[in-house]
Structure 1
């Protein structure tokens, strides 16, 4: 039997063959430092991954030759389950590389707000690639194509593939993992209104801003990270606020919560995060924000350390 052959156990319809977690991607800092001739912006970003995210499952269906996608969860509404969805595009990329995609369907449980600046479809695509390499391994000669598949699906997918603290440069595809990075207690808030990423980039006053300052050899704790982040910025924050002023209001409310060390927008918005020194502080802040704004998506979480 070759590595390309199906090694999955025989399972009846509805049996779960495997699952993969797609954590939220948090841009702790995001500097826009240039623009390529093809229009892509060059970035310098410090990225961490939260303990909350979506889930991808493979569900046995012996009669299918290619997976169908169903979407459930609190943010399933409005998402298309057709071939344009990044989950199915990732499955097709796996097949193109020599992996098998027959005999199962895929189920996405969407727990993260859509178009919210925290990974979303990129994280889902990366989780799908990880899942499929487990249940339907690639041929040995194609195993090194996983990163290539990720790059073709989108600039954020390679970083979501590893989902550990990192510095990303280029258009997001040049990745430097950050060993020893501490876990960060945080609160995520989304006011429930999407903002257009292309519109935010179009609103940039300039695209040749300074890169991140030098990173210390190691951060001692979450407070040290917050202090260093105060010397950085998210260059997309101001144009996002211009497009959606509600972001400014949510940032102000986060910053005013007890114990918040730093409040900032992630990615192109509209999700914002607050950093806290302890989990207890984050929980209390999340409860206060939820009580004040029951229609907002508010969650306390902790990023993964390394």
Structure 2
């Protein structure tokens, strides 16, 4: 594929027409039109619908534009970095991160990154859903226990675990009695299975509050409404200070936070810099590190 023709195609797509693209780039309109036509011919695809009201990307054209735009930007930045003798991160960095991580640490983490790399415009979107990185234009995503995806590569940079905690004033149930529980969402009556120093146990629960976020759950548990199942990083200070007591570790898989990015041969300096920033913030990736960072 002709990269120059691909660059001209993305230029026209970005500006929405040959005339606007020609004026913006100082290039002849006829040259841009010819290069795009040659690209369409080489791909045997129609990339634009041409009509009286201008150009409109076809479905294939939009898919190519979304993928080629970011790749060409990375190539340009890499060439500029090599030419200048360094790889100083610059440009826009879009990250998608889960809600709890964003609420507890991302503000501080993003601020320290911005101070260190002032030429990078960091944009963080908070959501727990699985995003399509390529289609939605993200450079990096942070996800909890992500499903395997052959289009993405990454690593786990933090680990956490779930614990059942309660106010010291809340009596621990005995004899199968259900304990009042604060749960995320609507909750159900399923028991919490925990590990204790003496073995495994099951705690029957009676949800009394269903809340939308784990921070809300923690605050309600602190108030003594009921027991809660929470990440240990979120209640570390409470456990140390005795405002909450530990009933046991939840018998469940470990929580792992991963950084993921597309499987490309070129990794932009912006993404590399943020990955290094995470490594410095959480060198060992333990729940205690996460708790300490969140507590400031």
Q: TM-score, normalised by structure 2?
A: 0.24
Higher relative contact order (CA 8 A, sep 6+): 1
Q: TM-score, normalised by structure 1?
A: 0.24
Q: Which has the larger radius of gyration?
A: 2
